[in-house]
Structure 1
């Protein structure tokens, strides 16, 4: 594991394998792979398995607004690592992290900020 991987792991916390993520969402692991390919989810290899941050799943659905926000970040030129770092880094002006704000139904401000990153 590189230093960068360790930093991301510290920021993200808990990861779900594709199988673990698929179960509460009621989809197949292949559907999770498709969402990752479409930039509607972001996954990285952790301990030999493609995994997504557990905070991306909210009950039986993805966090509201997450797919659109990830597309905005990708369109702004963010790599997966950069996007994860941005989503999970505390921002005192929100307050909290962007993913926390999205989980608390404050995603409009997060998306506005993500749109601003492209300019």
Structure 2
């Protein structure tokens, strides 16, 4: 099995993260399926202590938070690297008062995608 595409750990130190096994249980899939989601950029992860760490904010009670995949796809298609996407997702937008990953859980989710489209193209 090839190595996973993991970003450098520049996440906020107080951010909750999940292991591959945690995500597998949450999504009710195998750990190998979670690794495939990371490899295919349907999830993003950092290397923390040599292991994949997936931000818990990427999930809600139903699974991967709505609009996450669309947002990541817009940024990657617009030329952002995986590391740049992760940095952008956790950079506070002053006028929103939160970072885009948190905004995906609010009524501002579509605004975040619109901003990503504007910045990526």
TM class by shorter-chain length?
0.7 to 0.9
State the Cα RMSD in Å. 2.0
Match of 2:106 among 104, 107, 113: 104
Return the alpha-carbon distance in structure 1 between the equivalents of residues 23 and 84 of structure 2. Answer: 22
Map of 1:67 onto structure 2: 69
Runs ≥4 residues deviating over 4 A: none
Q: TM-score, normalised by structure 2?
A: 0.83
Judging changes above 3 Å, is the alpha-carbon distance between structure 1 residues 25 and 80 closer, same or farther for their aligned structure 2 residues? same
Q: Which runs of 5+ in 1 are unaligned?
A: none
Measured after TM superposition, the shift of residue 9 of structure 1 is 2.8
Q: TM-score, normalised by structure 1?
A: 0.84
Map of 2:57 onto structure 1: 55
Tell me if the contact between 1:40 and 1:68 (Cα under 8 Å) persists in the aligned partners. Answer: no
Q: Tell me the matched-pair count.
A: 115
Classify the secondary structure of the residue corresponding to 2:93: coil
Structure richer in helix, relative to its length: 1
Q: Which runs of 5+ in 2 are unaligned?
A: 1-6
